[in-house]
Structure formats: structure tokens, C-alpha cells
Structure 1
């Protein structure tokens, strides 16, 4: 375990504080659903198009398909087809949303996309969309192949510090939550911001299935993703978990230490939600908020959260809008602090 004094780096704490300030619901109450009087009446939405801005297999894909299954299974809408548009941390899908003519479209988004917009210098930004809701957050897990010589997070970090680019870490898109976590761990371990890009050999992927294949195939030294994406491979013995990024141990991996337990003061959780095309009318926005609020209130959605190890992080409408604006500023500053953007 590392014993050197380090600065605590917790983007999750910033996000949580912002959410509490916005919702004023420290007691855990759910934000109120939009009232009918808040916007002109719209024709009830019976079909929703779900866009996943990533290839199949990752957390966004799991989220999009879970949303579609619950919406149709509980009869909230009659159909919810899912389309995958992967690439560049979701910014390819984000660009497609800018040209989307179907107003009843929901795109999965999250912390990954916030970072990818910055690292890819995307012309289309999240500010160009209509925020609908934040749905979940979850901790990340740092894993190694089953046959890896690394027994602890210290072992991995020490090798990166000593051998730099010879040690490879795979995860989601460049600038996303996985990439940010790798940078924060190295920063908190003593590397300067300008050293991190020269030491960190990060291999991005547009879908969780690709990262999984690289890790299980022993083609990389380590990997990072959401706990829900890797837990089955950890349980099967194909991967070994070194640490989770939450403040406390997670239920799915009770024997896995937190990064903080390992002496590196970093806490980070990865949020996900949904956005709609920019410029939709108020009535359509209110109707989409109604659909997502009904989704959130179902037993089926609660079951999905429990099964996948996702935390309920529900924010709707203007509260999510305010959260997103703050998160964009926080992530931009964090990426600069750890040398991932200029």
C-alpha cells in the first residue's frame, strides 16, 4: 500500500455536491415529475427511438437496451428500437443527433461523452442537445488478465511509473471515465500532469466487448470499465480485480479493495443518462420527460439497477440541465489538470 501523502482527487464528490445543491433533496426524495401545466399539451408519445452512441457490449449499450426493454415491457411505449452509432467516444452519435429529424429520440449519454467532446474537439457539443434525465451512476473497476503478474494496484502503478508505454491499459473512449480514472490514479501517485501522457499507454475502444476481448486475450496489461461490465468475467476467473473506484467496497465485488484502500486518494463514479435533439419544442420535451419519469418509477427498472449494480442517480429536466452544465466545466478542468487535453 502506498503511504505517501497525496492530494485527494474526487470528481465524483464534485458531481455529488452539485447534485445535492441542485435538488435540495439530501433525504433521498425523487425529483418531481414535470407537471402538465409546465408546457403546452403534446400528443402522447407512443414510440421512442433509442440511440446508443457506441458499439454493442458496453455500458451505454446495456443502458440503452435496458431502457428499451422496460419502456416496451411495461407498456409505457409500444416500440423502442435501438440503433448503435459508435465512434470517437460517442461524438459520432452526438453529431448524428444534431441532424435527427425525429423529435421522439433519446440518446444515451454520460461522463464518457462529456470527456470525449473535449478530447476530440467535437464541433457538436452537449450544449447543442436537449437534456432529459440522468439515470444512473456506477463505480469503475481496474482489472488485469487472470495470468497477470500484478497482484495489487501498487504493482501496476509502479510498473507504469518505471516502464511507461510498455504497460498498456484498455478501456472505453479517449477522454472518457476510464481514461480519466487512469490519469487520476497516476496523478495521485505522484506523476506531474505533463508526465502522464508520456507514461500512460491507454488503448481506447468504442464498445465494451472490444476491451473485454483484449483483456481476456492477454493483449493488454490491464483494463478499466464499469463494475457491471466486468463482474461476470471476474467471477468466472478470466479477470482479476485490483481495485474499485467507489468510496466504499461494492456489493458485487465485496473482497475487492477501493483505490483509496490501496493508498491512492481517488474516487470516481461514471454517470449515464439520456438527451434529445436540440431545438425540440417544450411540449415534446415535457412528454419525453414524462416517459423517462414513468420508466424510472417501474419495478422493472429498479430490478435492472439491482441486477447490473447501477446506482439510482435520477435527475430530470432543468435539474439535469444544470447538473450537466456544471459537469462539463468540471470535466474540462480535470482533463487539463491531468494532461489529457491542452
Structure 2
């Protein structure tokens, strides 16, 4: 090879290496498992996080996969089995998955994946269709006491926070929680369609799913599960109505099983960086989420405590 050709080759290789370094600096190519159908809280959280990761420069691309069912257990099983050792895989999870695992006892559990961070918390909103003859939660409760099966509750998977809230409310008013007519959906989009179509008496979910329909008047909010009234929701708390029911939802993110401590730290740093981005702040504001970022050993302990606390609540409510 002539000297000039040799120098050109070296320059080309150097330029290629430089481009590769810049691509690496721009972030990883991540895969995001969303263990629910499109249109719900997990879906919104996962896609908002992906956008924030890219804006923060922590990720170059994020590819999403929705796999709904069984309170996230189906998506969790696929994630655990297919992503072992993958340092670029993330999965959205939260209180709904914890409750679903307690209720359903699936063969694959959260302990097989790697905790990364809690992201946010959100309380539940109960709504009725705009055309419903029931105008308030007190009217729903009266109907529930007369005939528990006639009140069809629609929400997330069995063991979700809205399912637990409905069971707690039933117990509060002297109704056997085992007799409530709860219809579980695999994603917020399905629950929305059921409420709008009048296929359920009461729908329960986070404001993320119901907000636009409440604003447009297609759904009427009748109660919230928070300790105080929620901004933008003209509905009383269950406690305000005299029912001792308060329960919040939270969402977080896990990584694949079998990754190294260094890889876990890198993913945690990326997620924490994303939560400081303008894109994430906008998502929090738009969806009415409450920031609740937590990572490391503190998050590990929080999840363990949540399993114990939710199990106690579900036992007391007669769900298990």
C-alpha cells in the first residue's frame, strides 16, 4: 500500500472510531417492556420515561413492547426469561404488579429482576359514565349494599390499587368483598372504553387515563382515594365521604436479571438523569403525577415493605 493510501486509511479508521465514540456518548439503545396494553398508566409512564431518557442524552433510542395481562405478570415473565444479563433492558412496574403478584402468585416474581428506581405516585379516581343514573359515590354505595353484584367495577388487573380500593370500600360498608363484581382489564385503554360504553357501573384508574374524558364531560368523577382532594378533579375523597379508604399507586422501573452491579448503577444513573429533564417535568405536570423518585437500597427496602403492607391490606379487605 502506498504511503498516501495508508494515511488515508488511518484517517478513515480514526474518523470511524470518533463517530462510534460520539454514538456511545449519545446514549444506549434501550428496550422498554411495558407489561400492559397501550393507553394506560404504565404505558404512559414508560413512553414518558423513554422520551426523557433520549432528551437527557442517556439513550440514543428506546424501543417499546407492550405485553398486558395478569397485573403485569405476563410481561414480567417474558422480561425475566428473555432479557437475562441484558444491560439495555428496562421494565415499567409498580404497586399494581405487587398487588397482582400477591393475589395471583405467578411463577415468575419481581425478586428475579433487578430494582432500579421508583418514579412517581398517583392516587385513583373513581368515575361513572356521564349518562349514569348514579350521580355520587354515596348512591353507588347504597346500590352496592342492596345488591353487590349489580355494581360492576371496572379497572386494572386483579390486585390493582383500584381493585383493592373497591374491596376496602365494600368492607367499610358491611359488604363481603368477595361478592363485589370486579371486571379486570389488561390496560387503561380497555377500561376507558368500558366506561364510555356504559359496560361498567364505576371505573377506577389514575387521572392519567381518565383526565381528558373528565374534562370533556364524558365521565363524571365521584371520588378519589387520596388523603386530600386532587387538583383538577371535582370530586370528594372517600374519607371526606365518611369511608376510611385511602390508597395510592406508585410506578417504578426494573432492569433485567443477571446484570452486574456496575450495569445496574449505570442504568440507575441514566433513569435519575432522565427524571431531571424538561420532558419528564412536562409529563409529570400534564398527567398530574406526584414525583416520588427513589433508588438504591432505599428502593429495594421500599418494594419489600410494599409487599408486606399490601398483603396486610388485601387480607383485611377479604381479597386473600
Is 2:247 aligned against 1:268?
yes
Name the residue aligned to 2:124. Answer: 140
Name the residue aligned to 1:94. Answer: 76
Separation in structure 2 between the aligned mates of residue 139 and residue 87 of structure 1, nearest angstrom:
21
What secondary structure, in the 3-state scheme, does the structure 2 residue paired with 1:181 have? helix
1:188: Cα distance to partner?
A: 2.0
Name the residue aligned to 1:338. Answer: 317
Q: Tell me the alpha carbon deviations over residues 187-237 of structure 1, each in whole angstroms, 9 at most, x when there is no partner.
A: 22233xxx2112x00000011111111111111111100012101111111
Indicate which of 85, 94, 98 corresponds to 1:110. Answer: 94
1:263: Cα distance to partner?
A: 1.1
1:258: Cα distance to partner?
A: 1.1
**In proportion to residue count, which structure has more helix?**
2
Separation in structure 1 between the aligned mates of residue 127 and residue 299 of structure 2, nearest angstrom:
32
What secondary structure, in the 3-state scheme, does the structure 2 residue paired with 1:264 have? coil
Separation in structure 2 between the aligned mates of residue 140 and residue 83 of structure 1, nearest angstrom:
25
Count of residues in correspondence between the two structures: 294
Is 2:282 aligned against 1:300?
no
Is 2:40 aligned against 1:61?
no
What secondary structure, in the 3-state scheme, does the structure 2 residue paired with 1:138 have? strand
Separation in structure 2 between the aligned mates of residue 280 and residue 329 of structure 1, nearest angstrom:
26
Separation in structure 2 between the aligned mates of residue 48 and residue 311 of structure 1, nearest angstrom:
25
Contact 2:58/2:273, CA 8 A, preserved across alignment: yes
Q: Tell me the alpha carbon deviations over residues 76-133 of structure 1, each in whole angstroms, 9 at most, x when there is no partner.
A: 2101111111111100011112211323211000000001112221111112211100
Contact 2:95/2:250, CA 8 A, preserved across alignment: yes
Separation in structure 2 between the aligned mates of residue 220 and residue 97 of structure 1, nearest angstrom:
32
Name the residue aligned to 1:149. Answer: 133
Separation in structure 2 between the aligned mates of residue 73 and residue 314 of structure 1, nearest angstrom:
18
Q: Tell me the alpha carbon deviations over residues 256-310 of structure 1, each in whole angstroms, 9 at most, x when there is no partner.
A: 1111111112111100000112221101000001101101111221121011100
Separation in structure 2 between the aligned mates of residue 299 and residue 70 of structure 1, nearest angstrom:
8
What secondary structure, in the 3-state scheme, does the structure 1 residue paired with 2:28 have? coil
Separation in structure 2 between the aligned mates of residue 77 and residue 92 of structure 1, nearest angstrom:
26
Name the residue aligned to 1:178. Answer: 162
Separation in structure 2 between the aligned mates of residue 245 and residue 262 of structure 1, nearest angstrom:
11
- Give the TM-score taking structure 2 as reference length: 0.89
What secondary structure, in the 3-state scheme, does the structure 2 residue paired with 1:150 have? coil
Is 2:222 aligned against 1:242?
yes
Contact 2:125/2:205, CA 8 A, preserved across alignment: yes
1:75: Cα distance to partner?
A: 2.2
Question: Which has the higher Rg, Structure 1 or Structure 2?
Answer: 2
Name the residue aligned to 1:211. Answer: 191
Separation in structure 1 between the aligned mates of residue 113 and residue 171 of structure 2, nearest angstrom:
33
Separation in structure 2 between the aligned mates of residue 103 and residue 93 of structure 1, nearest angstrom:
18
Q: Which runs of 5+ in 2 are unaligned?
A: 1-23
What secondary structure, in the 3-state scheme, does the structure 1 residue paired with 2:183 have? strand
Q: Which runs of 5+ in 1 are unaligned?
A: 1-42
Separation in structure 1 between the aligned mates of residue 28 and residue 231 of structure 2, nearest angstrom:
37
Greater mean alpha carbon deviation, residues 207-216 or residues 65-74: 65-74
Name the residue aligned to 1:197. Answer: 178
Name the residue aligned to 2:235. Answer: 256
Separation in structure 2 between the aligned mates of residue 277 and residue 71 of structure 1, nearest angstrom:
18
Is 2:301 aligned against 1:322?
yes
Name the residue aligned to 1:30. Answer: none
What secondary structure, in the 3-state scheme, does the structure 2 residue paired with 1:267 have? coil
Separation in structure 2 between the aligned mates of residue 267 and residue 165 of structure 1, nearest angstrom:
23
